[in-house]
Amino acid sequence: MMSQEQNDLITRTGAGTPAGALMRRYWQPAALADELAGERPVVPVRLLGENFVLFRDGQGRYGLVDRDCPHRGADLAFGRLEEEGLRCAFHGWLFAADGTCLETPAEPVGSQLCRNIRQRAYPVTERNGILWAWLGEGAPPAFPEIDCFVAPDSHTFAFKGLIECNWLQALEVGIDPAHASFLHRFFEDEEVSQSYGKQFRGASAGTEMPMTRILREYDRPIINVERTEYGLRLIALREIDGERTHVRVTNQLFPHAFVIPMSTEMTITQWHVPVDDETCYWYAIFTSYTKPVDKPKMRAQRLELYELPEYRSRKNKRNHYGFDPHEQKHETYTGMGHDINVHDHWAVESMGPIQDRTREHLGSSDKAIIQYRRLLREQIEKVAGGGEPMLFLDEKSARSIQGPGTMDGIGPTRGWETYWMEVDVARRRAAPWMAPVPAAVPGDERIVHLSAAE
C-alpha cells in the first residue's frame, strides 16, 4: 500500500505537478490524423488537463494553439478555418499555425495591436497516423527508432479509444501478464484463421494451439521483469510440460506506453495519454512484419465498439458493459462479450476515476507494476531536480533505441531464453521493410538454461 500523497504524486499530471512536468518532457499523442481528414480539419483537444485546438490550415500546416482566444477568451474550436490559419468567430482575429496574430479586423485602420499579440502555440508532427504535440519548454526530443515509427505507413494502422479513469491504472493493466488468464478467459476457442485484427484469438508461434487455450489452462505464469534502456521488459512463462513452455515477451515503453504482441504477424504499441486526471485516451499503432495492414478491416472492427467523434466505447459503465450473467457462466469469464477492450475498460474504470492505492494489496504477480511505479517516481524526481528523464533523446541516441522485441510462442522449457530472441530476429529479417535487427543472439555458451520453475 502507499500513502495518499504518494498516489497523488504518480497520478496527477496537470500543469505545475511533478508528474505533469515529467510528461511534458515527451511528445504526446494529441489526435489521430484521420480526425483532421474531413472538410473542416479543426478539433478541440484536451491534453494533460489543458485545452487546445488542433487544425490544419489551407497550406497543409498543422497548428496546436490554446483554445481560448487571447482577445476575450472565446472558443477557437468554433473558429473559421482559412488559408492562413484559424479566425476567431467573435471579432475575426486571425491566428497562424505558429500562434502569430495576423489580423485584428475590428480595430481601426492602421492599428498596431496585432503586432503585440501572440497565441501560445505548440509544435505538432505526424508519425504513422498519430499527430504528436510537444507541450514542454525548449527544443523537443527526437523520436526513438522503434518499430512503429520505422515501419512504412502501409504496414501500420493507428486508432484510439476513450477510457474514463486515470491514465496510470489504464497503463498498469497492460503490464500485468497474469490478468489475461482470467479477465480475457474464453471457455471456447475460435477458429484461429478468423483471428486477424483480434488480440489473443490467434495461435502462438510454433504451434497451432490457440492463445485462448494457453491462457485458460496455464493461469499461473512465472514473471520476469528486466530494466532496459527504454523502460521494462516483461517475460511471462507458462510451463506446459517438461519439454515445452509458453513464452510471452512484452515491454513497458517509458513513460506511458507498452509494446505487446498481437499475433505472430503484428505488434501493438499503445500509449495511455492523460486527458485530465480522471480521463485518458489509449492511442495505438499496430505494426505488421509481413503483409500490409488491412486498414479498412482493422478500422471497421474497432468502430463496432468505439463511437465517433469521441471514440467512446458503446459498452460502458452506463450500460454495465453489456454484462450478461448467462454468458459469464457459459462463454466468457467476465460476461461482457468477446472484445477484450471492454474487459479492460471495466477493470480499470471500476477502480474509480483515480484508483485509491492506499487500499490495495499487491502480490508477486504484480512485480512489473511495482517496478514501474519505482521507475516512475525515480524519473519524476530526476526532472524535479533539473535533469532530463530516460528516453529524452537527441538524434544520435534515438538510433540506439530500437525494437523492442516482442513475441508469443511455445518453445523449449530449457532454452526459452534464446528461443524468444530467435523468433523475434527471424521475423525482423523476413520483414519487407527495414525492421531493425539485433547484431546477434547470444550463443548457448553464454546462457545457463533454466526452466520457468527454476
What pLDDT score does 385 carry? Answer: 97
Q: Can you give 343-393 as a three-state secondary structure string? A: HHHHHHHCCCCCCCHHHCCCCHHHHHHHHHHHHHHHHHHHHHCCCCCCCCE
What pLDDT score does 208 carry? Answer: 75
Instruction: Classify residue 286 by its DSSP letter.
Output: E
pLDDT band at 214 (very low <50, low <70, confident <90, very high): confident
What is the average per-residue pLDDT within 146-171? 98
Q: CA-CA-CA-CA torsion for 171, 177, 182, 183, nearest 10 degrees?
A: 20
Long-range contacts for 295-301 (Cβ within 8 Å, ≥24 apart)?
295/157, 297/196, 297/197, 298/157, 298/159, 298/197, 299/157, 299/159, 301/197, 301/198
What is the average per-residue pLDDT within 205-216? 81
**For 362-402, how does the pLDDT look when each residue is reduced to its tens digit (9 = 90+)?**
999 999 999 999 999 999 999 999 999 999 999 999 988 99
Chain mean pLDDT for the chain:
93
DSSP sequence for 95-122: E-TTSBEEE-TTSPTT--GGGG-B--EE
CA 117-121-122 angle, to 5 degrees, is: 160
pLDDT band at 74 (very low <50, low <70, confident <90, very high): very high
Instruction: Classify residue 167 by its DSSP letter.
Output: H
- CA 295, CA 286: separation in Å to the nearest integer? 10
Nearest residue to 162 via CA among 393, 344, 418: 344
The answer to whether the CB of 180 falls within 8 A of the CB of 200 is: yes
What pLDDT score does 190 carry? Answer: 78
pLDDT band at 201 (very low <50, low <70, confident <90, very high): low
What pLDDT score does 443 carry? Answer: 56
What pLDDT score does 202 carry? Answer: 67
What pLDDT score does 251 carry? Answer: 97
What pLDDT score does 213 carry? Answer: 87
pLDDT band at 451 (very low <50, low <70, confident <90, very high): low
**For 100-150, how does the pLDDT look when each residue is reduced to its tens digit (9 = 90+)?**
999 999 999 989 999 999 999 999 999 999 999 999 999 999 999 999 999
pLDDT band at 354 (very low <50, low <70, confident <90, very high): very high
At 275, which helix (H) or strand (E)?
Answer: strand 266-276
Beta strands 145-146; 402-403: pairing state = parallel
Q: Which residue has the higher pLDDT, 243 or 207?
A: 243
Q: Which residue has the higher pLDDT, 447 or 335?
A: 335
User: Rounded to 5, what percent of the chain is helix, strand, coil?
Assistant: 30, 30, 45
- CA 200, CA 393: separation in Å to the nearest integer? 33
What pLDDT score does 264 carry? Answer: 86
pLDDT band at 449 (very low <50, low <70, confident <90, very high): low
Percent of residues, the chain, with pLDDT higher than 90: 84
What pLDDT score does 151 carry? Answer: 97
Percent of residues, the chain, with pLDDT higher than 70: 94
What pLDDT score does 440 carry? Answer: 60
**For 280-297, how does the pLDDT look when each residue is reduced to its tens digit (9 = 90+)?**
999 999 999 999 999 999
What pLDDT score does 438 carry? Answer: 80
Nearest residue to 59 via CA among 98, 29, 32: 98
What pLDDT score does 194 carry? Answer: 66
Residue 393 burial (C-beta neighbours within 10 Å; 0-12, 13-18, 19+):
middle
Asked if residue 447 has pLDDT above 60, the reply is no
